[in-house]
Structure 1
Amino acid sequence: MDRKVLSYIRDNKLLKSKDKILVALSGGPDSLCLLNILLELRQELDIEIAAAHLNHLLRGADAIGDEEYVIDICNTMGIKCFVRRLDINIYAKEHRLSSEMAGRKARYDFFEEISEKEGFNKIATAHNANDQAETILFRLMRGTGLDGLGGIKASRDGKIIRPILCLSRSEVEGYIELKKLNPRIDKTNFERIYNRNKIRLDILPYMKENFNEDIIDALNRMALLLQKDNEFIENLALSLYNKYCIEDSAYFIIKKEIFIEEEPIATRVLRNALIKYSKSNYDFEMKHIYEIFHLAKKNSGKLIHLPNGIYAENIYGDIYIKSKVEKYHIDNKIEDIILEKNNINTNEIILDNFIVKFEVITDYEMSQIISNQNKFTKYFDFDKIKNNISMRNRRNGDKIIPLGMTGNKKVKDIFIDMKIPKDERDSIPILCFDNKIAWIIGIKISEEYKITDKSGNILKVVVERKEY
């Protein structure tokens, strides 16, 4: 059995020399089989092994017994064991998840935490070929796509590995008997109140008896074929994701051009954007993807709410993925702040989120001035300012002569042209010199106060995010 697993590990490049493996150990037959096989292969693979167990506190004394058993097994085998207790019912309510989803999230969060703290680079779970078949049927009945029908992959994100996915449950049980191991048995696995148990106890045995006695192998072969097809399509989707999606710490932008691409590719691009932004693989269904398709056909300003605390908004045809709890404007609404020109070197303007700093420069090189400018660092001709410098939000009728132009343009039209969301426009600070707009912060500067070869004194203005 260990030779079969070794071949599977090598064929799928699951492990390499010096890897540190954290085994998810429940104490049941599958995880005990996985741990023992890895221990038998430890020297040959040149790996380090430890185990982790999360007690969900769902089964009273049985759960405590599982925990104690795992600790004893690890002590006997001479490996480290990390254990944590967590009331999964309370956790599920706090995170508004089903018990099953809460258990999965809590387990993987625990495994990730231990891995980061202790330096493990791989997390091994004990999914087997029967689990694969059950997962495929479970997803099929929920209405999954190609990715879902591909089932469980041998590895995920280069860190989660399933070394015994090649073994059937009967092979696992045979190994347990051969090695005279004594695993813990979770009685809830035989209760038909759970849909997955019904698949395991009723549907698969019925299919095996009446349609195909090798149904487990058949479903696993199908999964491998579909995984290869899906990988090809995903690579196409990745190239379009890089082309049409813009990642920002505050929001993601999905350009409207994606919606003219072939639907199987476009849906994957949208799903990848949702997953990357929300950092969750399990909250989004195809209905959410198609809601975004419909949103793209609506007027600018329309939005839809999505799972995991985010929403999508149509802004001039582009789709912005945002968080419901974050604010994306530069600052909150501010009152007029006025500074005297003569005292500008000793002043700064403090906003809710930003600090605006001023510096008058008398000795400079034009090349350095040009190279040092960026979105939040600008230089102005200080000598053109007569009396004061002020900061405010926009007002009705505001105009500016944009850099490089000769005539005025309404600030409102600039926001429209640059597709600034409506809910952000009133909160973008505006820097004024003598009541004339010099800089729409982060957006546009004025032609009137630009520096030239004839400029004498220069005003440097830097907008910095406040540290908390």
Structure 2
Amino acid sequence: LLHILHRLARDLDLHLGVAHFDHGLRGEVSREEACFVAGLARDLGLPMHRGEGDVRGAARAEKISLQMAARRLRLDFLQRVRRSRAYDRVALGHTADDQVELFFLRLVRGAGTEGLKGMWPRTPQGLVRPLLAVGKAVLLAWLQQEKIPYREDQSNLSRRYLRNRMRLDLVPQLQQDYNPRLKSAVWRLMANLQEDERLLAESTEAAFNSAARRITPDWAALSIPRLLALPPGLQTRLLRRTLGSFLSHQEITSAQAKNLLDLARGEKSGGAMTIGTCQVARAGRELHFFPPLPPPPEPCATLLPQSGMVESPDGWRLEARNLPEPRPEGNPVSPALAWLNGDRLAFPLTLRPLLAGDRFWPEGAGGTKKMQDFLVDAKVPRWLRPHLPVVAGGEGIIWVPGLRLADPVKVTPETSRITELAISPADDRTARVWRLLLAWTSQAALQA
């Protein structure tokens, strides 16, 4: 692939680079291959981008196969190079023979037409496969004709992997006993399936636009009533469409799609499941899709003894100050600020997470209520609640940042001193929690 693109570069106005990812699975052989690729890039006068990763560690951590982990890390690396170096496309060397292997691999796993269609020649994620219509034998013959050296991955000869057994055993046996032109038949079938898939993709996208909404770039909500009103086949496609935008190059199995439908059909809200790099949580009449949040830290209380600033071990920063005269009118513009009746405020203030049994008297309400009931009324998703901070004082919880002030400390005409509280995230986890909360409350306000 590299030699072909290099020869076409001037005519096609291509600006090329070479990227190589070392999976660290074959020791010295892997390092020799990296050196071979680096030498090839140097001889062609092209920039070289090298990466490596712990494939075995990723497979253990995510409970996936070595091959799936290798593919995920490799594609993540290639996309990082593309974005950071301002390349337009990542060109991959898949051939027509790879399509045949993938067809039978997915067939024996019970894939539907979405899987059996094979790889696209071009994807919205910037991947292109220029050799997808060319057989491996043709490419090997060209390399020999041009006297171009190449290396073969010896792990492709191991029957330990199912894909290799497809290539080495199943396909040759089918060609010998059933159809000598088996590969051509499979290519025709996959081409037909891709045409069908393009048509069905339009229906899926229309369903997505009707049933789903983006709350943030990394948070989508899918209406359960609208999902379940669709025909069964379109339900599965819609779930794959929604989930697929959050996964890092991972196939979505039929079992996973069924589990998502079971989550949607459940009678109770609050269920959740994790699929690869995406968490799906039931939130009322919606399914929420988002990258998993880190587990909330152990509950801890941070005291602010007087006016000033304090930072909590779980990543929040709280500041208190008395506002000068003249007193401000109305309410703070920023949800990160709260104006309290300083006459009723009792230091020290406590910055902490929510605790079981918490009660809260929201501003304007007739009395206290369970914090859980307040958050349900505010429609805050259950999966987000354990990550929220609260500020407590002598009157109990006096502020739920981003949501509501407590009634006993609200500013009144008789207030002689106004205290301003300001909260801000102090690490990446709390910054993401705050961003999610503000996006949610903003959309909830628009819907109201």
SS at match of 2:16: strand
Bigger mean CA deviation after superposition, 418-427 or 112-121: 418-427
What is the CA distance between 1:453 and its match in structure 2? 6.9
* One-letter amino acid of the counterpart of residue 267, structure 1: T
Structure 1 position 347 matched with structure 2 position 330 = no
Bigger mean CA deviation after superposition, 42-51 or 316-325: 316-325
Aligned to 1:356: 318
Aligned to 1:148: 115
SS at match of 1:282: coil
SS at match of 2:295: coil
Structure 1 position 257 matched with structure 2 position 225 = yes
Aligned to 1:287: 255
What is the CA distance between 1:126 and its match in structure 2? 0.8
**Kindly tell me: are residues 299 and 179 of structure 1, through their superposed partners in 2, closer, same or farther at Cα, counting changes over 3 Å?**
same
Aligned to 1:99: 66
SS at match of 2:317: strand
Aligned to 1:400: 361
Alpha-carbon separation, structure 2, partners of 1:176 and 1:390: 74
What is the CA distance between 1:161 and its match in structure 2? 1.4
Aligned to 1:219: 189
* One-letter amino acid of the counterpart of residue 156, structure 1: T
Is the contact between residue 373 and residue 379 of structure 1 (CA under 8 Å) also seen in structure 2? no
Alpha-carbon separation, structure 2, partners of 1:91 and 1:424: 26
Aligned to 1:108: 75
* One-letter amino acid of the counterpart of residue 101, structure 2: E
What is the CA distance between 1:127 and its match in structure 2? 0.9
What is the CA distance between 1:420 and its match in structure 2? 4.7
What is the CA distance between 1:306 and its match in structure 2? 3.1
What is the CA distance between 1:374 and its match in structure 2? 3.4
* One-letter amino acid of the counterpart of residue 408, structure 1: G
Deviation per CA, 1:304-323: give whole Å up to 9, x if none: 54343765444445445577
1:67-466 equivalences in 2 (<5 Å): 67-83=34-50, 92-93=59-60, 96-116=63-83, 118-205=85-172, 207-208=174-175, 210-211=178-179, 213=181, 214-240=184-210, 242-243=212-213, 246-247=215-216, 253-262=221-230, 263-277=232-246, 279-282=247-250, 284-300=252-268, 303=271, 305-308=273-276, 312-320=280-288, 326-327=294-295, 332-334=299-301, 346-348=307-309, 350-352=311-313, 353-364=315-326, 369-370=330-331, 372-383=332-343, 385=344, 390-391=349-350, 396=357, 398-400=359-361, 402-403=363-364, 405=365, 407-412=366-371, 413-420=373-380, 430-431=390-391, 435=395, 438-447=398-407, 449-451=409-411, 457-466=417-426
SS at match of 1:49: coil
Alpha-carbon separation, structure 2, partners of 1:113 and 1:170: 32
Alpha-carbon separation, structure 1, partners of 2:345 and 2:58: 62
Deviation per CA, 1:153-178: give whole Å up to 9, x if none: 11233422111212233432343344
Is the contact between residue 333 and residue 427 of structure 1 (CA under 8 Å) also seen in structure 2? no
Alpha-carbon separation, structure 1, partners of 2:217 and 2:9: 43
Structure 1 length normalisation: TM-score? 0.73
1:3-14 equivalences in 2 (<5 Å): none
Alpha-carbon separation, structure 1, partners of 2:51 and 2:265: 49
What is the CA distance between 1:36 and its match in structure 2? 2.0
Is the contact between residue 295 and residue 302 of structure 1 (CA under 8 Å) also seen in structure 2? no
Bigger mean CA deviation after superposition, 372-381 or 319-328: 319-328
**Kindly tell me: are residues 152 and 203 of structure 1, through their superposed partners in 2, closer, same or farther at Cα, counting changes over 3 Å?**
same
SS at match of 1:52: strand
Alpha-carbon separation, structure 1, partners of 2:385 and 2:203: 39
Is the contact between residue 123 and residue 159 of structure 1 (CA under 8 Å) also seen in structure 2? yes
Alpha-carbon separation, structure 2, partners of 1:148 and 1:273: 16
Alpha-carbon separation, structure 1, partners of 2:295 and 2:2: 47
**Kindly tell me: are residues 347 and 84 of structure 1, through their superposed partners in 2, closer, same or farther at Cα, counting changes over 3 Å?**
closer
What is the CA distance between 1:42 and its match in structure 2? 0.5
Is the contact between residue 300 and residue 315 of structure 1 (CA under 8 Å) also seen in structure 2? no
Structure 2 unmatched runs, 5+: 429-448
Alpha-carbon separation, structure 2, partners of 1:338 and 1:67: 55
Structure 2 length normalisation: TM-score? 0.76
* One-letter amino acid of the counterpart of residue 459, structure 1: T
1:51 equivalent among 8, 11, 18: 18
Root-mean-square deviation (CA), in Å?
4.0
What is the CA distance between 1:234 and its match in structure 2? 3.8
Bigger mean CA deviation after superposition, 452-461 or 284-293: 452-461
Aligned to 1:26: none
SS at match of 1:48: coil
| Number of residue-to-residue matches in the alignment | 420
What is the CA distance between 1:112 and its match in structure 2? 3.6
Aligned to 2:434: none
Alpha-carbon separation, structure 1, partners of 2:301 and 2:190: 61
**Kindly tell me: are residues 223 and 81 of structure 1, through their superposed partners in 2, closer, same or farther at Cα, counting changes over 3 Å?**
farther
* One-letter amino acid of the counterpart of residue 398, structure 1: R
Is the contact between residue 246 and residue 254 of structure 1 (CA under 8 Å) also seen in structure 2? no
What is the CA distance between 1:117 and its match in structure 2? 5.1
Is the contact between residue 327 and residue 418 of structure 2 (CA under 8 Å) also seen in structure 1? no
SS at match of 2:103: helix
Alpha-carbon separation, structure 2, partners of 1:415 and 1:87: 41
Is the contact between residue 363 and residue 407 of structure 2 (CA under 8 Å) also seen in structure 1? yes
Is the contact between residue 299 and residue 314 of structure 1 (CA under 8 Å) also seen in structure 2? no
Alpha-carbon separation, structure 2, partners of 1:386 and 1:202: 78
